Amino acid sequence: MITLYGLPRSRSLRVSWMLEELGLDWHYHYVNFQAGEQRSEEFLALNPCGKVPALKDGDLVLSESAAICLYLAEKYGPQFLPKPGSEASALHHRWISFTTTELEQALWSMGKHRFALPEEQRIVEMIDTATWEFNQAAAIAEGWIPESGYLLGEQFSVADILLCHTLNWAVSFQQTLPEKLMNYRKRTSQRPALNHALEKEMNGKAMAKL
């Protein structure tokens, strides 16, 4: 049985989305951050960083959302990855790297200095800096994004999950997206597996609180 440890609408949604795309049988374990479960001895044994997601697949325990999604695709759904060594694979690598190191890092800087860090460690001015960084990265992504379809044309890939989730995160952070990025976000967010994943996460949270 595959178990995903997560928190609704966090990076764990990327993994639950991937699991739903793959049609796998999996269990969602809600980690209650308000109760401090991420700092419990049990959870830190899974992920010493005290963050979600964490995944158990048999004897394997894995953290980091991009790594988990890539692992799941390689093991259970190679159709979500381009052919290794191809030009499409090179572009796929670039999108994953750019999404996590340029787009996401700017958004997470906003989040850290708004709510995630201890109050004494927050620097209000960092939010303006991170917004500038995000806009610079979004402008580059706008030049790369196709007018229609997904990042690799008609093939939906792991990179699409990471990018779409990051763009949805940007909208929730009240960032303005360029037109093509916004259109891409809207059409990719319509995939049924994303809605199923979010519903499973929300139900898992509700059940944990009963």
| Residue 71: predicted pLDDT | 98
Q: What is the 3-state secondary structure (H, E, C) of 114-149?
A: HHHCCHHHCCCHHHHHHHHHHHHHHHHHHHHCCCCC
Cα 193 to Cα 18: distance, rounded to the nearest angstrom:
8
Q: What is the average pLDDT value for the chain, to the nearest integer?
A: 96
Write the pLDDT tens digit of every residue in 3-60.
999 999 899 999 999 999 999 999 999 999 989 999 999 999 999 999 999 999 999 9
- pLDDT attached to residue 199: 96
Domain ranges of the chain: 2-79+193-208, 82-190
Rounded CA separation 194/52 (Å): 18
Position 210 scores a pLDDT of 65
* Class at the top of the CATH hierarchy for domain 82-190: mainly alpha
Helix, strand or coil, per DSSP, at residue 161: helix
Residue (of 125, 93, 89) closest to 109 by Cα position:
125
DSSP H or E stretch at residue 5: strand 2-6
pLDDT, mean of residues 121-129: 96
For 84-110, the pLDDT digits (tens) are 999 999 999 999 999 999 999 999 999
What are the structure tokens assigned to 148, written together? Answer: 């229609």
Mean pLDDT confidence for 149-159:
98
- Give the pTM: 0.96
| Helix-helix angle 12-22:158-172, to 10 degrees | 140
**CATH class of the structural domain 2-79+193-208:** alpha beta
